[in-house]
Structure 1
Amino acid sequence: MSRVRTGLTVTAPDGARLVADLVLPDRLPAPAVVIRTPYGTSGCLPEALTLAEAGFACLIQDLRGRHLSEGTFTPGADEGADGRTTLDWTAAQPWCDGEVFLYGLAYEAYAAWCAAGHPAVRGIVSRQPWPPIGSPALDEELWWRTDLGTGRTTRTGLYDATLARAPELAALIPTAAVVEAWPVDVGPWPATPSTYRTAARRTARAARTATVPSLHLGSWYCRSAPTTLRQAMLAPYAEVVVGGWASALTHRLQSECALPEPPGPHPFALTLEWLGGLRRDGCLLLGTGRWTDTDPIPPGRPGWTALPLGADGTRLRHDPADPYPSAPHSADLAPPADRDDVVRLTLDGPLRWHGAPRLTAEVTTATGAELVATLVHERPGGAATRMADGTVPVATGTSRCEIRLAPAAAELPPGHRLHVELTAGRTPRHPAPRRRAELSFRDVTLHLPRPRKDAFA
């Protein structure tokens, strides 16, 4: 029977005490799985108990400044030194056989990569990793900071409760003014593509220089999908599985969600199988042979299918007093009605793609703006869900632009439709121009990366 110890402390180089819980297997010493989390150790206990049943000791540690650990939590700042100190301590414990595996979801995965170069590490499991790549979705970023990523503890539900009590705050999300009215300190705002650039470079470097196997688990429904794929392509001993998993860190599911969670093994079940393969007969194996070339990781240089959308001469007119709204990831998206600030272009299924689509267009405008392209999947019954979006700045005059959208492994059967919506900003997800703007389009083309043979089999 697993044994649980609580309140263990590791002293960081500056004297801060980092508090952890430990779950031990029956047989000791054992290899250790370390989870360093900002989300509270209690949420990881079910996984820790399962790991202990599989023969691993599992250490779950509150990150600096979170929950029971001392210090101040600054996203992206201290995980290297604190992580190395924690692994020094773990590998030296009598219950550890000297081998350590790192596991983490979202920010936990970032903390794992920051310590990946430690000599005791034998493998890394990175699930839906932080930070996101590219232009941040401001509503999702503010939700993460409000509920999960700032302060000493998590505050699940505070973001939704705040907007329910004061819905007028949604219009302020793309601006610094929201900070003054928001119930918690969310740090520098608004976020920009450079906000987490240093942290993203740090994890990319860690993945590229990894000398141990790594398992990369991602979800096409999560803004972390590009990060998952990037790290997997950089890591020299990587295996990757990208599915349709939903979690609290993926998106907040709505009752009208049109995205069913597909059948198949849970990502943690894949983690257990992968770890078991590495530990089989005491040997280090580079994978279990479960995954093949048909798994959903796009090729580095895919073939493309170009689909003209027939939008020549189409225009949109943006009114800053009534900007076109966004909606939660899983919320039903009604078709635009009697609005001239959105251009909706439609393709009928069947459609298949595997990777990151691109949208190209010639755009003419007298006012600089942020052009947002949104892919909306409509099912035969009418339910519609945003699949991906992307942005690009458009300068005054006429110019060619290209928008790179989030990657997906998608198959839309006959009867399904794909809508491409073009807007000038899309609040609160993406900021909108503060002045009136008119944009006209020519030669709008959607470029879909073709799947590899049998990728959907």
Structure 2
Amino acid sequence: MIDVPVGGLVADVFLPERLPAPTVVVRTPYGTPGLWPEADALTGAGLAVVLQDLRGRHRSPGEFEAGADERADGHAALDWITAQPWSDGVTCLYGTAYEAYAAWCAVGHPSVRGVAGRQSWPPAAVAVDEELWWRTEIGGGRQLRPGLYDLALTRPAWPVPLGAWPPTPSSWHPQARRASSRIRAADLPTLHLGSWYCGSAATTLRQAALARRATVVMGGWASPLTHRLQPECAIDVPVDPDPSDLALPWLVAVATGADPMEGHRCLVLGSNRWEQTDPRPAARPDLRALPLTGPASSSIDHDPADPYPSLPHSADLLVIGPRADVVRLRATGHVEWRGAARVRCRVRTDRAAELVATLVHETPAGVRTRLADGTAPITPGHAVAEMRCAPVAVDLPAGHVLHLELTVGRRPRHTAPETPVTVTVSDVELLVPGGRR
């Protein structure tokens, strides 16, 4: 490994024994040491590897502005790489989360032969807790700051500048459009690795739907870039193949002109089985209603002094206990779907608020964990609200139960009003995609 300036930014360069060689490029805001084991594996397979700190991150000079410089800086890095005597002129781009975004931004360079991205950034919709975690621990300053998110939740004022807060669509839509346009224009093999447990699941599937030659794998991977597994983890984390075991052979094959021989795969939660099927949902799926049991009409009484809490993704929601500020319904019959569930209901409220629908999986042991959620703004008066939940593949075995919870906010994941709010809900429907692709 050698440490060199690449396109004005700092990078680690790993070279195989035989040169010239194709090059795998990862441009990262997270620091390069965590990527060294994968780089070593790739050089052992005959590829060169360049791991570059993004502008304003770790060793690279400048100021980091999320989404701003990745096309120009990425092309500069690829120009430098392909001009080196050890390069055969072929590159592949790779990365997780923001690294994948940086890869998509540079995909138009003529040297690029393929892109492998895992759990891509930016998310299709931002939950407040996920955005706060990004801005405190990942997206601000030169270095990672692990633990700052948890500290921020205990402070009356944020311990670091967050920029415009709370987040709005303008926080991520420009970057999302930028990545989408690059993916749509690229006619080359792409590998899309996602996790149902990650807020990026919808982004992974949306980008894969835009790609012309996509292979899509949706699993249940747990990492700090997914749902921040807690010590009290209640999720039955599936035994998945490691994403590196899928991505690295694919990169080697594409870079050397071989057939990657990798097909679509989809992990089905609940049963935790793998299917050799395309996990991308249909663009306009037929919807069917899952029967629900519970009160025909009920009220949510929000108290700003005691808002309904949102525990970490991996925690057991049963510990929250009975409350007056939640409407809980239970699905009956066999629960199975692939894609984005929708919740519709009639609402009557005295103040504006955000209605949150949370789909909760309860195991025979009584453990309850979040599968997916969605939100909708509601205004004073009578209306129909519709919440589109995050996509997921679900097939609950016998003895497992699906609950639908309706709340006003779910702090810190979703904002809650600062004044008391009463919301009456009725005619609740849970609509799920009715068939497989």
Shorter-chain TM-score tier = over 0.9
Aligned equivalents of 2:68 and 2:333: distance in 1?
A: 46
Equivalent residue number for residue 175 of structure 1: none
Residue 408 of structure 1 and its aligned partner are, at CA, apart by: 0.7
3-state SS, counterpart of residue 288 of structure 1: coil
Q: CA RMSD in A?
A: 1.7
After superposition, where does 1:372-391 map in structure 2 within 5 Å? 372-391=356-375
Whether 1:122 and 2:113 are equivalent positions in the alignment is yes
Equivalent residue number for residue 306 of structure 1: 289
Equivalent residue number for residue 343 of structure 1: 327
User: After TM superposition, which residue ranges in structure 1, 4 or more long, deviate above 4 angstroms?
Assistant: none
Aligned equivalents of 1:65 and 1:46: distance in 2?
A: 24
TM value normalised by structure 2: 0.93
Contact 1:308 1:443 in 2 (8 A): no
Whether 1:101 and 2:92 are equivalent positions in the alignment is yes
- Read off the aligned partner of 2:376 and give its amino acid letter: V
Equivalent residue number for residue 183 of structure 2: 207
- Read off the aligned partner of 1:155 and give its amino acid letter: R
1:257-283 deviation digits (Å, cap 9, x = unpaired): 23233223211111122223324xx53
After superposition, where does 1:149-228 map in structure 2 within 5 Å? 149-163=139-153, 167=154, 169=155, 181-228=157-204
Aligned equivalents of 1:263 and 1:447: distance in 2?
A: 29
After superposition, where does 1:251-330 map in structure 2 within 5 Å? 251-279=227-255, 282-283=256-257, 285=259, 287-288=260-261, 290-291=263-264, 294-309=277-292, 310-330=294-314
Whether 1:5 and 2:10 are equivalent positions in the alignment is no
Deviates more, 1:148-157 or 1:337-346: 337-346
Residue 162 of structure 1 and its aligned partner are, at CA, apart by: 4.7
Residue 304 of structure 1 and its aligned partner are, at CA, apart by: 2.3
- Read off the aligned partner of 1:402 and give its amino acid letter: E
For this pair of structures, how many residues does the alignment match? 426
Residue 193 of structure 1 and its aligned partner are, at CA, apart by: 2.5
3-state SS, counterpart of residue 65 of structure 1: coil
3-state SS, counterpart of residue 169 of structure 2: coil
- Read off the aligned partner of 1:304 and give its amino acid letter: L
3-state SS, counterpart of residue 334 of structure 1: helix
Residue 335 of structure 1 and its aligned partner are, at CA, apart by: 5.8
Deviates more, 1:67-76 or 1:435-444: 435-444
Aligned equivalents of 1:415 and 1:256: distance in 2?
A: 23
1:270-328 deviation digits (Å, cap 9, x = unpaired): 1122223324xx5364x525337723222223332212435422111111121111111
Does the C-alpha gap of structure 1 residues 338 and 222 become closer, same or farther in structure 2, counting only changes over 3 Å? closer
Does the C-alpha gap of structure 1 residues 82 and 439 become closer, same or farther in structure 2, counting only changes over 3 Å? same
1:351-387 deviation digits (Å, cap 9, x = unpaired): 1111111111111112111101111111111111111
Aligned equivalents of 2:254 and 2:177: distance in 1?
A: 28
Contact 1:304 1:448 in 2 (8 A): yes
Unaligned runs of 5+ in 2: 266-275
Contact 1:349 1:417 in 2 (8 A): no
% identical aligned pairs: 56
1:368 to 347, 352, 355: 352
- Read off the aligned partner of 1:90 and give its amino acid letter: I
3-state SS, counterpart of residue 34 of structure 2: helix
Residue 348 of structure 1 and its aligned partner are, at CA, apart by: 4.4
- Read off the aligned partner of 1:70 and give its amino acid letter: P
Equivalent residue number for residue 271 of structure 2: none
Deviates more, 1:305-314 or 1:100-109: 305-314
3-state SS, counterpart of residue 275 of structure 1: helix
1:56 to 47, 53, 57: 47
Contact 2:341 2:388 in 1 (8 A): yes
TM value normalised by structure 1: 0.89
